[in-house]
Homo-oligomer: A and B are copies of this chain.
Amino acid sequence: MSGRLTIIGLGPGADELMAPEARAAIDAATDLVGYATYLARILPHPGQTVHGSDNGAELDRARHALRLASAGHNVAVLSSGDAGVFAMASAVFEAIEHGEASWRALDVRVIPGISAMFAAAARIGAPLGHDFCAISLSDNLKPWALVLRRLRAAAEAGFVIALYNAASRARPWQLGAALDLLREILPPTVPVVFATAISRPDETIRIIDLAAATPDLADMRTLVLVGSAETRRIARDAAPCWLYTPRSAAS
């Protein structure tokens, strides 16, 4: 029997936001591969082998999964959010391109998920209601100058910006530098959302003016959304404001 490799987005955290197709693929797998923190969200059934690993080392993890599938296993590779967004799907296809020729004949599928930026946006209104972009702030795999160039292009063109990999212990200064650049371009009142552990029990959301946004509001589990000049706040009595970006734009 030939194996199968399914790359699965678990969604932001809550079981109620995981697609039934993802759940079914996890249940059918013989082997679960992923970052240990994400695997901990799954209760394996007897007979399933769990292959947890540290964060980082995505390419090694991908190759391990491909070898298991080549040996006939039904392998599920798990990512948080959507597996195709700064997550394992790209690593698996990179491993295939540069790996054994036989890997191209494997049955590889990707099951999409609800990405962190959409889960965060939904909690506060509709800040991604118009043109937007997603940028990874990690300079582990691209030059920092390229990150800054993309931030500048996106802000000048009026995109709402979702920042992935905004902060970690190994990358402590990048978010502050990014916010400093954005303050040169965008109005000081543009709202910045720090959304941490969305849909998990310890979820926290802070909405702050760009002028006052500081990087200490983010950790490894934080998705940062930076509004555009068009993004609107709706004030409410005794409740957090709503944010939305209108469907129309003037210029």
**Number of A residues whose C-beta is below 8 Å from B?**
79
Instruction: Knowing A20-B15, A134-B133, A234-B96 are in contact, say whether A84-B121 is a contact too (CB < 8 A).
Output: yes
How many copies of this chain does the complex contain?
Answer: 2
Query: Is there contact, CB below 8 Å, between A157 and B158?
Result: no
Ordered by A's residue number, 17 sampled pairs between the chains whose C-beta atoms are within 8 Å are: A16-B24, A58-B247, A86-B129, A91-B247, A93-B232, A93-B242, A94-B246, A96-B242, A97-B232, A97-B234, A104-B234, A112-B114, A112-B118, A112-B119, A112-B122, A133-B154, A143-B251
> What string of 1s and 0s marks CB contacts (under 8 Å) between A86-124 and chain B?
110111111011000000110011111111001101110
User: Which residues on B sit within 8 Å (CB–CB) of A115?
Assistant: 115, 118
Q: How far is the CB of A246 from chain B (nearest CB, A)?
A: 6
Q: How far is the CB of A95 from chain B (nearest CB, A)?
A: 10
Residue of B nearest to A136 (CB): B131
Of A36-44, A145-153, A184-192, A213-221, which stretch is located at the interface?
A145-153
User: Which residues on B sit within 8 Å (CB–CB) of A91?
Assistant: 247
Query: Is there contact, CB below 8 Å, between A126 and B19?
Result: no
Instruction: Knowing A20-B18, A133-B154 are in contact, say whether A82-B118 is a contact too (CB < 8 A).
Output: yes
Query: Is there contact, CB below 8 Å, between A122 and B84?
Result: yes
User: Which residues on B sit within 8 Å (CB–CB) of A128?
Assistant: 84-85
User: Which residues on B sit within 8 Å (CB–CB) of A244?
Assistant: 89-90, 93-94, 97
Query: Is there contact, CB below 8 Å, between A126 and B90?
Result: yes
User: Which residues on B sit within 8 Å (CB–CB) of A141?
Assistant: 247-249
User: Which residues on B sit within 8 Å (CB–CB) of A121?
Assistant: 84, 110, 112
Q: How far is the CB of A133 from chain B (nearest CB, A)?
A: 3
> What string of 1s and 0s marks CB contacts (under 8 Å) between A1-23 and chain B?
00000000101001111111100
| A83 touches B (CB below 8 Å) | yes
| A30 touches B (CB below 8 Å) | no
